[in-house]
């Protein structure tokens, strides 16, 4: 069930998902500001190298994020560090944003 588009240069297969994710931007090294406010989103698809997420606001390109992925109704979440590779406004739902995140761990 690989998601591929014409001219796609992706390294890994994408798999559609419908999982919740909590995204917390981390401060830059040496910044006085503490970590940012968590953003709730959903995972559109995932691969071995990263995720495509849907959020109510744009994520800053190259920023490092702490992501907590909820697996179904289980009382646990998987935590990981990710980096924003790209963000764009959704075409069909312009009030939401798609972002590509790559795993750092």
Q: Do 39 and 58 meet the contact criterion of CB atoms below 8 Å apart? A: no
pLDDT at position 52: 97
- Residues of the chain short of pLDDT 70, as ranges, are 1-10, 34-35
- What does the domain layout of the chain look like in residue ranges? 15-88
Q: 45-71 as b/e, with b when 16 or more CB fall inside 10 Å? A: bbbeebbbbebeeebeeebebbbebbe
pLDDT at position 32: 74
Collect all residues with Cβ–Cβ distance below 8 Å to 55 and sequence separation of at least 6: 23, 39, 40, 41, 96, 97, 99
Single pTM value for the model: 0.84
């Amino acid at each position: 069930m690989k998601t591929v588009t014409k001219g796609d240069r992706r390294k890994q297969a994408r798999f559609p998902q419908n999982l919740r994710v909590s995204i917390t931007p981390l401060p830059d090294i040496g910044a006085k500001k503490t970590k940012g406010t968590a953003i709730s989103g959903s995972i559109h698809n995932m691969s071995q190298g990263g995720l495509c997420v849907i959020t109510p606001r744009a994520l800053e390109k190259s920023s490092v994020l702490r992501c907590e992925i909820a697996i179904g109704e289980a009382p646990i979440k998987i935590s990981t560090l990710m980096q924003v590779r790209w963000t764009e406004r959704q075409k069909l739902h312009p009030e939401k944003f798609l972002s590509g995140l790559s795993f750092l761990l």
